[in-house]
C-alpha cells in the first residue's frame, strides 16, 4: 500500500492521506476490471482523473499536535508559493528584456534589408537569375553556395564571367573593406590552404610590415579618380625613396586548383569578395624564374595603374622578384600612388587558369 510521510520541524511525521496508488487503463481509457476489484478490496476511492486514492491513515499523534503540524505545513506551502511567484516574475522580466532587444535588432535588420536586396537583385540580374515580385532573391543563397559543372577546370576569365565581376569592376562607389571583411578573406584562404597562415601584426586595413621593425608603408587608402579606391601618399616622398615591398605584402598561391577552391569558397560567402580577389591576383615570376599566381591580402592591392608618365612609382628593374617599388620622382602628400603594371607578363593560361568553353 502506498504511503508518503513529511517530516515537520519537531521530527514528527505527517501522513498524507489519499495518496494516489496508480491506475491501469486500456487504450480506450476504461479501467480494467482487475485493477478496479483490487482497489475496491483496499477500500480506495476513484479520483477525478480515473485513478484511485488510498483512504487508510496511520495514527501519528494527538489532535492538537496534528493541528499544529497542519498549520506549519500550510505555512510552508505559502512560503513555497511566494518563492514560485517571485521566480516566475523574474523569468518573465528577463524574457521581456530579451524580446525587446531582439525586436530592436530585427528593426535594424529590416532597415538594412532593402539595401541588401537591391544589391542582390543587381547581381542576380547580371547572372540571369529571376527575382520574385518584391525583388528579393530566394535563389541567391543557392547561387552563392553552388558551384557550376566543371568548376575544377575554370580559367580566370570563366570565374570572372560566372560571378559577373566585370559589372562590379565598373562600380566606382565600392566601399573600403573593414577589418571583418579582411578577416573573411584571410580565414577563407587559411581554410583552403592549411599550409599557410598570415601572421603580420599590421592590420590589413593599414597595410603591412614594410621592414623587420614592422613599420608601415608611407601611404594610406582613399578614393581615386582612376579606379574608385586607391592609395595616397601619407607624407611627402623623395625621388628614390622605397614605397612598397611586394615580397612582404603578397603571397603565392601554390597551384591553380588551390586558387579555384579559394575563389569559389569566397563566392559561397560573398560574390563581391570573390570578384575583388580575382582582381587582386596576377602572375609573376619568382626567384627561380617560375611563373606563379600571386595575390595580396591588404590595402596594398588598391594601388592603381598609371601608364607612362602617370606612374610615379616602380621597380629599379622590371624583373625584380621582390617587387620593390621606389618613388620615380618627388611625390607630394595626398598625391595618388600609381604603378605601371604593364611591365609584368600576366599569363593565366601558363599557371593552369586557361579559359575553357562553357556550353
CA proximity to 56, closest of 44, 39, 69, 38 = 44
- How far the first Cα of the chain sits from its last, in Å, is 82
For residue 77, what pLDDT is reported? 56
Give the angle subtended at the CA of 145 by the CAs of 253 and 164, to the nearest 5°.
Answer: 70
C-alpha cell recorded at residue 154: 575554370
Distance of CA 156 to the CA centre of its chain: 27
| Cβ-Cβ contacts under 8 Å for 297 (sequence gap 6 or more) | 182, 185, 186, 189, 198, 204, 251
For residue 203, what pLDDT is reported? 96
Interior/surface letters 317-339, b for 16+ CB within 10 angstroms, e for the rest: eeeeeebbbbbbeebeeeebbbb
Domain boundaries, the chain: 5-53, 151-351
CATH architecture observed for domain 151-351: Beta Complex (2.170)
For residue 86, what pLDDT is reported? 66
Task: Give the whole-angstrom CA distance, residue 149 versus residue 171.
Answer: 29
For residue 195, what pLDDT is reported? 92
Phi and psi (nearest 5°) for 304? -80, 165
Task: Give the whole-angstrom CA distance, residue 154 versus residue 295.
Answer: 18
> Which residue stretches of the chain have pLDDT < 70?
1-84, 86-145, 227, 318-319, 321
For residue 4, what pLDDT is reported? 43
Amino acid at each position: 500500500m502506498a504511503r508518503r510521510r513529511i517530516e515537520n520541524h519537531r521530527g514528527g511525521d505527517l501522513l498524507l492521506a489519499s495518496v494516489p496508488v496508480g491506475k491501469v487503463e486500456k487504450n480506450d481509457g476504461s479501467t480494467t476490471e482487475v485493477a478496479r476489484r483490487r482497489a475496491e478490496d483496499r477500500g480506495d476511492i476513484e479520483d477525478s482523473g480515473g485513478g484511485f486514492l488510498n483512504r487508510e491513515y496511520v495514527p501519528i499523534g494527538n489532535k492538537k499536535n496534528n493541528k499544529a503540524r497542519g498549520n506549519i505545513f500550510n505555512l510552508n506551502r505559502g512560503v513555497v508559493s511566494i518563492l514560485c511567484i517571485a521566480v516566475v516574475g523574474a523569468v518573465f522580466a528577463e524574457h521581456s528584456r530579451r524580446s525587446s532587444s531582439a525586436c530592436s535588432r530585427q528593426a535594424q535588420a529590416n532597415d538594412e534589408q532593402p539595401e541588401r536586396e537591391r544589391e542582390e537583385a543587381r547581381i542576380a540580374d547580371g547572372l540571369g537569375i529571376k527575382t520574385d515580385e518584391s525583388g528579393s532573391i530566394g535563389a541567391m543563397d543557392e547561387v552563392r553556395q553552388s558551384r557550376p559543372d566543371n568548376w575544377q577546370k575554370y580559367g580566370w576569365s570563366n570565374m570572372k564571367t560566372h560571378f559577373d565581376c566585370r559589372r562590379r569592376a565598373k562600380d566606382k562607389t565600392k566601399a573600403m573593406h573593414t577589418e571583418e571583411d579582411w578577416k573573411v578573406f584571410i580565414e577563407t584562404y587559411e581554410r583552403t590552404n592549411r599550409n599557410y597562415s598570415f601572421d603580420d601584426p599590421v592590420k590589413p586595413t593599414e597595410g603591412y610590415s614594410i621592414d623587420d621593425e614592422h613599420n608601415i608603408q608611407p601611404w594610406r587608402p582613399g578614393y581615386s579618380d582612376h579606379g574608385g579606391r586607391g592609395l595616397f601618399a601619407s607624407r611627402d616622398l623623395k625621388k628614390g625613396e622605397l614605397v612598397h615591398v611586394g615580397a612582404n605584402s603578397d603571397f603565392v598561391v601554390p597551384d591553380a586548383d588551390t586558387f579555384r577552391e579559394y575563389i569559389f569558397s569566397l563566392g559561397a560567402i560573398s560574390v563581391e569578395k570573390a570578384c575583388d580577389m580575382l582582381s587582386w591576383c596576377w602572375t609573376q615570376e619568382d626567384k627561380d624564374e617560375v611563373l606563379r599566381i600571386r595575390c595580396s591580402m591588404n590595402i596594398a592591392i588598391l594601388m592603381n595603374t598609371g601608364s607612362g608618365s602617370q606612374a610615379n612609382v616602380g621597380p629599379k628593374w622590371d624583373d625584380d622578384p621582390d617587387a620593390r617599388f621606389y618613388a620615380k620622382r618627388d611625390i607630394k602628400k595626398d598625391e595618388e600612388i600609381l604603378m605601371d603594371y604593364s611591365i609584368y607578363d600576366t599569363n593565366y593560361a601558363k599557371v593552369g587558369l586557361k579559359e575553357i568553353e562553357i556550353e
